[in-house]
Structure 1
Amino acid sequence: MSLSHQQKVYIPKEARTNQYITAEIKVTDELLNQYPDYHSCYQTLSRIIFNLAEQHDLRNVHVITNDKLPVVRYHTEAYCFQTAEQILFFYNPAYHEAQNLFTADNYRARKLRIVFLATGDEIRSNSANFHTRVQEFLNELMPKLPIKDLKVKIRDHQHLSYDLFAKSKGNKETYGYKLRAIAPRYKARKCELPENVSSLTYVTVSLPLSRKLKQGLLPESATDFSPLYQHLEDNFLKAAANKQLTRLAMIANGLTPLVRNSKFEKLDSKAEVQMIGFDPNATEQQVIRRWDADNLVEAAHFTIVAGAKDCDDAGYGRFMNNVEAALKSFAAEIGLDPEREDLVTRFHQHISYQL
């Protein structure tokens, strides 16, 4: 196989792209003391944010003051659901626009989080322009706040999601992506980033635990589900090892996995979220397993994280081709039917820095 071919990954043309950026501002006593109460603080700041967002042509912007975690997914219709710890945004970047304040009565937020959802067409190719507009927005916003020298944490999330079995279902058309790291992509488009940027790239797959999977491995009325989980774990680790993929996680405890760089992030799991941390620069194998033999969950989540050597200027093509090969081998071993079942694969790129 030629080097140029190895550096590309051929992804179904109907693959979905998402981008969203969060700006996190710590809520201090000094900031709150500028207002009569929490409600006045959040309402006043959100009005400033929404008015300024319109001036910068940022059309889907949300302010979160209840400390819930934003989760963003593509959907043909716009929905927003709140759980105890998360806010789930479903939307189509091509035509959905919105402004919302998410707050709670008499609640003191630890941070004020602004969520910018990318809109328009060609999300990936326009990602640097979107990031630049958010930077310009924040540079104009900060002097308008009543307290100076507030710190802002920026997180830029980009997803590329598709069914690994699209071709088996007759969707033959593919597009050759030469996937590149965010920093060089942005630099080529005149979007400046600071030097101390933390970055992480990974792939996630959620596997519904179907009746067929459970019936093949568990006796009727089973209360010990370890044979199912151990079977999935063993086959996942085996398939990954065959492609020299060493930063891995299997989460099957009912929690939503949240991937972070363990070198820079404090990892605190909550009631709904399982924090999992990886150091992409570490050379030793990193495997995280979180499942409970007494608890049968609806889905198992698998994560494969790229190492520093996978993120050079040549792109992520070789990494993604190895990931796809490993996932297809895993799927075959556990008996998934490519023509009838989906295996949605999400390629994530994430950067964060202090503004």
Structure 2
Amino acid sequence: MQGKLLQGVFMALSHQQKVYIPKDVRSNQYISAEIIVTDELLAHYPDYKTCYQTLSRTIFNLGEQQEIYNLHVITNDKLPVVRFHTEAYSFPTAEQIIFFYNPEYHEAQTLHSKDDYRARKIRIVFLATGEDIRSNSANFHIKVQSFLAKLMPLLPEKQLRVKVRDHQHLSYDLFAKAKGNKESYGYKLRSISNRYQARECPLPEGHGSLCYVTVKLPLSRKLKNALLPADTNDFTPLYQKLEEGFVEATAGKQLKHIAMVANGLTPLVRNSKFDQVDGTDEVQMLGFDPNVEQQQFIRHWDGDRLVETVSFTIAAETKDSKEGGLGRYLNRVEEALKSFTAGLEFDKSREDLIVRFHQHISYQAPDQLLDK
């Protein structure tokens, strides 16, 4: 009897550690390697253009050898953002390059540069290709590490440092079932470091990590009419109502690291312990320290401005990444979002609420990694 009881408890705990995600979930991974541009590096070339073109040719040739098939070199200091799409194209803004692609069949080798511009960093962006992106993520990271180890001796300056960032996310409609998509798959989510350790992919000690969820709530006419008085140019009541509902829903699930952005800027989440979190004209930086247990609530909205979508972010704490905790964390996030939207004029059968579950790691590549 006691054995059956223990088995039941174990099965219940195992079920809590899993999150059931629609089968049409989309998985993405991209890795960036950032190399600081120094005077010593530029001294090997007659001008910036020659430097960028020569280095990119070296990078692209090595990419062919290493079987890395979607590779971009950015020398205009624009920030890469990656999204899934059935068509492949890059959309540049003043500060960003948004890459749209399907990992199953899109390939590319592209230099994104500005001839008379001195870059602060040369960014090499590796987009994962093929199928089963998440299960093959460690192998892709190993491949990029091998690429960098072979690239550095080919560069004319030997004292260059490399910052590596690995970005992975799953995206899906929270209300897929309400639209008739009943099939789901149980994910027992693990941290990147645990997954990579199991696949013998080395990561330096002290690497930074961050896990969070983002959603963008479209402000439909029906939703706005329900929360705003007619003929008003003051949108403060709308944003206050959304903020109050979001804070209440997340507090009910003990989710303490949250943000709401409704100022027209693109939210960019960083670990405030390791990265600067200054904003720009296009990007709203959000800095969370996952080791801090106290409430961290970041709000950026302007009652004089009506935006098309409101962005919400829920970051995980360090304890959420331990011992199967990520599954429980994402379940709590889903429950909080469902509670939040239940109080709004939101049509689950027609409108999408895309959940993006992000996992990031970053580290300064150590000499032993680059000297393989």
Q: Same fold (TM over 0.5)?
A: yes
1:1-355 → structure 2 map (5 Å cutoff): 2-355=12-365
In the alignment of these two chains, the number of paired residues is 355
Give, in angstroms, the shift of residue 308 of structure 1: 0.9
Task: Give yes or no for contact 2:82–2:98 (8 Å, CA) kept in 1.
Answer: yes
Q: Is 1:178–1:315's contact at 8 Å kept on the other side of the alignment? A: no
Which blocks of at least 5 consecutive residues in structure 1 are unaligned? none
8 A contact 2:215–2:313 mirrored in 1: yes
The 8 Å contact of residues 12 and 166 in structure 1, kept in 2 or not, is answered as: yes
Supply the distance in 2 between the matched residues of 1:326 and 1:290 (Cα, whole angstroms): 20
Quote how far apart the aligned CAs of 1:313 are: 2.7
Distance across 2 between alignment mates of 1:217 and 1:196: 46
Aligned-pair distance for 1:195? 0.5
Amino acid at match of 2:167: H
Whether contact under 8 Å (2:70, 2:106) holds in the other structure is yes
Offset of residue 219 of structure 1 = 2.7
**Aligned equivalents of 1:64 and 1:159: distance in 2?**
22
- For residues 325 and 296 of structure 2, what CA distance do their matches in structure 1 show? 22
- The normalised TM-score by structure 2 is 0.94
Q: How many Å separate the matches in 2 of 1:284 and 1:344?
A: 28
Contact 1:62 1:99 in 2 (8 A): yes
SS of structure 2 residue aligned to 1:172: coil
CA contact (8 A) 2:319 2:325 kept: no
Output the aligned Cα RMSD.
0.8
Structure 1: which amino acid aligns with 2:33? Answer: A
State the alpha-carbon separation in 1 of the partners of residues 161 and 218 from structure 2. 40
What is the identity, as a one-letter code, of the residue corresponding to 2:242?
A: L
- Runs ≥4 in structure 1, deviation > 3 angstroms? none
In the aligned structure 1, how far is the partner of 2:181 from the partner of 2:64? 39
User: What is the CA distance between 1:334 and its match in structure 2?
Assistant: 1.3
2:249·2:339 contact (CA, 8 Å) conserved in 1? yes
Taking the aligned partners of 1:193 and 1:164, their CA distance within structure 2 comes to 33
> Structure 2: which 5+ runs fail to align?
1-8, 366-372
% identical aligned pairs: 69
